[in-house]
Amino acid sequence: MTQTPELPGCGHDAPAIALAEALDRIRALLEPIDGQHRVALRSGLGEVLAQPIVAPAAVPAHDNAAMDGYAIRHSDADRDPLQVVGSAFAGHPYTDRTLAPGECVRIMTGGVVPDGADAVVMQERVHASGDTVEVRHWPEQGENIRLAGEDLAPGDTILAPGRRLNAADLGLIASVGQAEIWVKRPLRVAFFSTGDELRSLGQTLGPGELYDSNRYTLYGMLSRLGVSLLDLGVVPDDPAALQQALDQGAREADVILSSGGVSVGEADYMVDLLKAGGQAHLWRIAMKPGRPLTFGRYGSAWYFGLPGNPVSVMVTFTQVVVPALRYLVGEQHTPARRFSVRCQGPLRKRPGRQEFQRGRLMEQSDGTLRVESVGKQGSGILRSMSEANCFIVLPADSESVASGEWVVVEPFLAGGL
């Protein structure tokens, strides 16, 4: 058992810490997982590369034409018109012999430049009749030739470990002839909702009860990250049941996420269980929504206790859990893309906490972007998340924003979260 260090910002009544500070603390405690496996290239889409991809040979392999035209000898300027002695099409090189003075070869884009040629003249710049061509604009030496190795030299590292592979990356790896790659094993994430008031879909609601929506938003956001999921259902606010969920999560997953039960009183169960099972930190983070966060370790799993409010869950997930999961799986750190736009309409804010308001980025008729609030910003109003396509990120010390002022936005990449 590890003692919870007495850090500022730890505990219910401690002063709040900045989000960036919480991220630093979490990062300092996490250790990336081990484990990689070899997969067919296509199965690597969306996975994290575990071994560098090195170009075994030059790409392109040969000097080739960048245009349709004629491969010529640059020193032949005074021998124009030239004799066409053959052709070099993509996949069908001209291999008869080295070009002699006064000779040229018909060549198409991608065709290998024949021995002896050192420029390609575009077909629009010649006058062809029979087997001779007259060059109207003599090219520069090397003109319209793509050099061997121009794209990649042998031994070049083309992708480094930690890269999350996209479509272009698959093509790039294919271009060097590699059919299989090493990727990190998927992170296993267990998640559950806590609360005596929660019912699962299909059940009937009694007085004061509501449907559990957090497991659905978490399922959606986790699925996009390519982790393997273990849904542990709804767990009542009862220490024995919570312990059972944690035990199963720790046996079967690398990370355990729960939502709800981090407010004063309820959180104590969880903090006690974590202290007994590993390590516990309870932080008040100066962010809105999503102030309380429990972080720790239970057995061999990392634990994140998210707030219960549906919007708070999504905000803390994107801002705290996503960077942590990426770090754990060994992915290179790429901060979320943020930029400034003008705000359409005023925003209410009090200084003190960094806010993640829900906004809609809209394209104006002049092509510029503006953002407007989606309206009610309560942390229980999930509809605001569904309507939003970005967060409006307001710094802790900022006050209300007047219409037309510049604000920072963080767009949701797939249009929504």
Residues within the interface to Mg ion (CB under 5 A): 195, 260-261, 308
Residue 67 interacts with ligand AMP (CB under 6 A): yes or no: no
Residue 308 interacts with ligand AMP (CB under 6 A): yes or no: yes
Any idea which residue has 């009090």 for tokens?
350
Residue 386 interacts with ligand AMP (CB under 6 A): yes or no: no
Q: Which is nearer to Mg ion, 174 or 264 (CB)?
A: 264
Q: Which two tokens stand for residue 164?
A: 């999350």
Please state the closest distance from residue 307 (CB atom) to ligand AMP, in A.
5
Residue 249 interacts with ligand AMP (CB under 6 A): yes or no: no
Residues 355-384 binding ligand AMP (CB under 6 A) are: none
Residue 398 interacts with ligand AMP (CB under 6 A): yes or no: no
Dihedral sign from CA coordinates of 350, 351, 353, 357:
positive
Please state the closest distance from residue 305 (CB atom) to ligand AMP, in A.
9
Residue type, 228: S
Q: Which two tokens stand for residue 210?
A: 């509501």
Distances (CA, A) of 3 to 263, 267, 271, 324: 21, 17, 12, 22
Residue 259 interacts with ligand AMP (CB under 6 A): yes or no: yes
User: By C-alpha distance, which of 311, 304, 271 is closest to 290?
Assistant: 311
**Residue 197 binding partner per list Mg ion, ligand AMP, none, with a CB distance cut-off of 5 to 8 Å that depends on partner kind:** ligand AMP
Q: Which is nearer to ligand AMP, 146 or 291 (CB)?
A: 291
Q: Which is nearer to ligand AMP, 9 or 260 (CB)?
A: 260
Q: What are phi and psi of 305, to 5 degrees?
A: -100, 105
CA 35 to chain centre: 21
Residue 290 interacts with ligand AMP (CB under 6 A): yes or no: no
C-alpha angle 172-318-347 in degrees, rounded to nearest 5: 120
Residues 260-279 binding ligand AMP (CB under 6 A) are: 260-263, 266
DSSP annotation of 123 reads G
Any idea which residue has 């359409």 for tokens?
344
Please state the closest distance from residue 335 (CB atom) to ligand AMP, in A.
28
Q: What are phi and psi of 42, to 5 degrees?
A: -60, -30
Residue 161 interacts with ligand AMP (CB under 6 A): yes or no: no
Residue 213 interacts with ligand AMP (CB under 6 A): yes or no: yes
CA distance 19 to 356: 12
Residues 6+ apart with CB under 8 A from 70: 82, 84, 104, 105, 106, 107, 120, 121, 123, 126, 133, 135
Q: Which two tokens stand for residue 74?
A: 């640059």
- Whether the CB-CB separation of 41 and 173 falls below 8 Å is answered with yes
Residues 178-197 binding ligand AMP (CB under 6 A) are: 193, 195, 197
Q: Which two tokens stand for residue 166?
A: 């996209």
Residue 212 interacts with ligand AMP (CB under 6 A): yes or no: yes
Please state the closest distance from residue 217 (CB atom) to ligand AMP, in A.
9
**Residue 4 binding partner per list ligand AMP, Mg ion, none, with a CB distance cut-off of 5 to 8 Å that depends on partner kind:** none
Q: Which is nearer to ligand AMP, 291 or 297 (CB)?
A: 291
Q: Which is nearer to Mg ion, 269 or 356 (CB)?
A: 269
Q: Which residue from 214, 318, 373, 389 is in contact with ligand AMP, where contact means CB under 6 A?
A: 214
Question: Is 118 in a helix, a strand, or coil?
Answer: coil
Residue 310 interacts with ligand AMP (CB under 6 A): yes or no: yes
Residues 10-29 binding ligand AMP (CB under 6 A) are: none
C-alpha angle 125-129-134 in degrees, rounded to nearest 5: 40
Q: Which is nearer to Mg ion, 314 or 374 (CB)?
A: 314
Strands (DSSP E) along 265-312, which ranges?
278-284, 287-288, 292-298, 301-306
**Residue 144 binding partner per list ligand AMP, Mg ion, none, with a CB distance cut-off of 5 to 8 Å that depends on partner kind:** none
| Residues binding ligand AMP (CB under 6 A) | 193, 195, 197-198, 210, 212-214, 259-263, 266, 307-310
